[in-house]
Structures are given as structure tokens and as C-alpha cells.
Copies of this chain bind each other. A is one copy, B any other.
Amino acid sequence: MRWALIGASRIASSYMIDAIRAQDGAEITAVLSSSAERGAEYAQTHGVAQSYTDLDALLSGAPCDAVYISTTNEKHHAQALACIAAGKHVLCEKPLAMSVSDANEMVTAAEDAGVVFATNHHLRNAGTHLAIREQIQKGAVGDVLSIRVFHAVQLPQDLQGWRIDNPEAGGGVIPDIVVHDADTVRFHLDEDPVSVVAKATASGLGEGVEDSVMSVWTMPSGAMVMTHESFTHAFARTGFEVHGTRGSIVARDVMTQRPVGEITLTDADGPRPIAFDAHNLYVRSLGLYYAATRGQGRPSADGVDGIKSLAVALAVKEAAETGREVVVDYGGR
């Protein structure tokens, strides 16, 4: 499968180029960048044959079957629609778009065109989260009463840019991280948050956007969820906890792109570690994506997953801005 990179991004160079190339018969033929200079340099550095500054030129000129979109968030919608119209499979970065209706339009267009659309939510590919989900599914914690998600980190300097000062590009910790936490909770519980309350603030990094947020969600089962996302927490380890009627799972260092972490299950028999597979998250994700393009199974996070994680993040944003409980609007999905 021949790929074009829509966006000469750090996420592509840090993780996705290698993950794409780890698949049998994969090839990256082109990269799109708004800067010709940056595009050319990026193409050379990463062994990509061609760089473009115009998407239509890329779609008509570069041989490609699939695109990976990792531009700033406000560009995803138009770019995805153009790629879908050109018959390409689309793997799109989160958040899919700036609104649920835009995201819905992208996913509907892909459905109508018969191309495979997926959202790049890495966490449900982690061995840690797969192991946690398996424990939940087999009843190790009984009925789930609550989930706590700790995803307060220090945003690395080289990623700060638009994320900390550009609301129009989708900056702020809510579009950047809450979407991942929403996807992860949905993955574990197989249900979608009903409503949320939240508070957000700027605590040193954010200018015109929030850099920290705490929220509380209600799930259809009655389970409660609390989450904390931040760009300013240098010394807080990440974590994910599932508390149930028969046991608790406490996982540390698991809200990460790397295949690391630790998981402890505690029940009436006391605490014990839970083993997990330490595979590369993105290679697994791409493998499932490849299979889906061959009609086998589905991507780890599909378009509807991307719509729903965006819907939760937008509800958290509205709740934080208004001080009111917000019912999550999934746009009919």
C-alpha cells in the first residue's frame, strides 16, 4: 500500500513513518507541507520521494492508496474530504475536526465512498490497556463503579507551538488529550459518556487556551469517571484506575505512546501484578488498519470512535466554559 503523509508532522516522524513501513508492502510516496522548504527537507530526511504544498496536486500527482492526516486540527475536515473524494483510505489524527458535524461529514463521506477511515487513537492499541480491558471483560473487578484517568503531563518544548496558544488551530489540552481519555474509557467500558461537568484553567503554559482541565463524566451503566489532563505537570505520573464491586485495577505510566507501564489488580485475594504485551502501539494499529483495507476486521479506532471522542472533548470544553453539566451530543451516532 502506498501512503501519502498529509502534514510534515512530528507525530509522523516520531512514530507513524516507522509504523507504516513496518507493514508488508508499505511505501510512503509523498508528503504535504504548507512550506515547500520544510516539505522538501522532511521528505529528504525521511526518505520520501516527493513533497507537495498543494493537496490537489499531491492527490493527482503522487501514487497513493492511503493518506495519514496529521496537520493542525482545523485542516483535517477539508483535507479528509478531498482525500476521500479521490478514493483514498484515510487515517486521521485526533481530534478529527473542530466540530462533531464536520467529523460526521468526514466519516459519512468515507462510508459512502467505501474507503476505510480510522482515527489515530493509540492507547487502545497498548498492551497495558488491552490487558486491563481483558480483566474488566472477564469480571475481575465485578461491576465497574468508577474510573479515574490521570493524563497530566509536561508538554515537551518541541510540541508547544500552536497547542498552547492557537485556539483556531485546535490548541489547548482538551482537544489534545481529553479525546484520548474519552476514547480509552469508551474502549474499556463499551459505552459512551452521557454527560460531563468540568473546570479548566491556564496554569503557566496556555495563552488563550486552557492547559489544564479536570472533568467528571456519567456513563450509561452508572459508572462515574474523573479525568485530569494537563500540559504543565512535570512530576505527576500518568495513570488509569478501574474500581469495581469485586476489585480495583490501578495502572501507572500507561497514558503514553510508549509500550510501558505497570498494572496491579487488587481484590479479596490481595494485590497482584497483571502482565501485558509490550508491543509497539502504532505498529499494531497500522496492522489492524491494513487488515481492514483488505476487508478483514476493523481499525482499532474507526471514524465513529473519532466522532465520539471529539464529542466528549467538546462537551468537556463547553462544560468548563459555562459551568454547566453538558449532555454529550454525538451528532446522531
Chain A residues packing against B (C-beta within 8 Å):
141, 145-146, 148, 150, 152, 195, 197-199, 201, 203-204, 212, 214-218, 222, 224, 226, 228, 230, 232-237, 241, 243-248, 250, 266-267, 319, 323-325
- Closest Cβ of chain B to A143, distance in Å, is 8
| Prevailing SS type, chain A contact patch | strand
| B226 A152 Cβ-Cβ under 8 A | no
Known contacts A145-B230, A215-B216, A233-B243; 9 additional CB pairs below 8 A are A145-B233, A146-B214, A197-B216, A197-B319, A201-B222, A214-B216, A214-B224, A323-B324, A323-B325
- Closest Cβ of chain B to A209, distance in Å, is 16
29 contacts between A and B (CB under 8 A): A145-B212, A146-B214, A146-B228, A146-B233, A146-B236, A148-B150, A148-B228, A197-B323, A197-B325, A198-B216, A199-B216, A199-B217, A199-B218, A199-B325, A201-B218, A201-B222, A203-B222, A203-B224, A214-B226, A224-B228, A226-B226, A226-B228, A235-B243, A235-B246, A235-B247, A235-B266, A236-B241, A236-B243, A236-B248
* Total identical chains: 2
Bound-complex Cα distance A212 to B146 (A): 9
Bound-complex Cα distance A222 to B245 (A): 35
**Which of A148, A198, A241 has the most CB atoms of chain B within a 10 A radius of its CB?**
A148
| B267 A235 Cβ-Cβ under 8 A | yes
- Closest Cβ of chain B to A249, distance in Å, is 9
| A216 B218 Cβ-Cβ under 8 A | no
Closest residue to A196 on the B side, CB-wise?
B199
- A325 to chain B: which residues have CB within 8 Å? 197, 199, 323-324
Bound-complex Cα distance A250 to B248 (A): 19
Bound-complex Cα distance A29 to B198 (A): 50
- Closest Cβ of chain B to A211, distance in Å, is 10
